[in-house]
Amino acid sequence: MDARPTAFTTVGITGKPGDPAVIELVERLAPILAARGCRALLDADSVEANGPGHPERVPRQELLEASDLVIAIGGDGTLIHVARSLAGRSDVALMGINRGRLGFLVDVAPEHLNQVACVLDGEHVIDERLILQAEIRSNSDDALLGGGVAINEVVVHRWNTARMIELSTRIDGEPLSDHRSDGLIIASPTGSTAYAMAGGGPIAHPNLHAMVLVPVCPHTLSNRPLVVDGNSCIEITVHPGFIDQVRVSCDSQKDLTVHEECRLVVSAHPTPLRLVHPPGYSYFNLLRAKLGWGGPPSQPAHGGA
């Protein structure tokens, strides 16, 4: 993490479509940005606010291209949607204001908008996160047939069938496993607290350059979660009889179709995601708060030491 001050001159604001609280937060953010001389842009594709004193409304793509800081108002899903659009942009940072539920990524509470002022004043933490790129490649000539970006995870999963699917996995060209399961999750450290954790995978600190492989309901109980280096190349081949029952999902927001004589290749995206946190951010405090690890200590039994 890098705690050096960074100047943000153009701030884009986007939010969860249809959430009336987004407009109220925009109205509270506008004077904070204006007081610091920031140019403010509002995502016309998701936020309908256009009253006196509201930021200029522009199409989302224009907002993303012009901003050096993007503020996403909503839950983790809203932030992930924006983050996927920023893949490859090392010059743009992203911050979330939580209007969702659990909120591992959107860590500014609506009642603490003073933290946004601190960020704009240079009191913040820049957190660079590994993200994933997924590619469907031909086995014959390695041609790219489809692809996507994932902030949390790439999932190979069954669909339109109650049967398990059969997969083969290779790491850097070396055979790893042939297994039957409901699917396979390849998660970034950020995504280790999402679907991968629900599937029994480990929590990986977000600053690790690593990827987590978690089988979904494997037929063989010895098929366990695995953590590999972030420089690894993970290749997954669906056995021929299951091609029509398998899909690939990136963050549950983009689907890829596997074809015969092709494979899924997952690796680290060359450009990390730049997240901005307010001063005092602590990942371990976040885990304590979100997972309920921060309860009061238990009291010893009467008469105990």
Query: Is 141 tagged catalytic?
Result: no
19, 76, 127, 251: the catalytic one is: 76
Are the C-beta atoms of residues 13 and 26 closer than 8 Å to each other?
Answer: yes
- φ and ψ at residue 130, rounded to 5 degrees: -65, 135
Quick one: which of 43, 53, 56 has its CA closest to 17?
43
DSSP 8-state symbol, 176: E
Could you give the strand order of the β-sheet that contains 56-58, starting from the edge strand earlier in sequence?
56-58, 39-43, 10-15, 69-74, 93-98, 273-277, 125-129
Q: Which helix (H) or strand (E) holds 81?
A: helix 76-85
The answer to whether 245 touches 165, Cβ cutoff 8 Å, is yes
Q: Number of C-alpha atoms within 13 angstroms, CB side, residue 266?
A: 33
Q: And the tokens for 149?
A: 């970006």
Rg of the chain in Å (alpha carbons): 21
The token duo for 241 is 């009889």
Q: Which of 92, 156, 139, 129 is nearest to 269 (CA)?
A: 129
Coil, strand or helix: which one is 164? coil
CA 47, CA 26: separation in Å to the nearest integer?
A: 9
Find out whether 32 and 117 touch, Cβ atoms under 8 Å. yes
Residue 258 one-letter amino acid: V
Distance, in Å, from the CA atom of 65 to the CA atom of 67, rounded to the nearest integer, reads 6
- Catalytic residues, which ones? 76
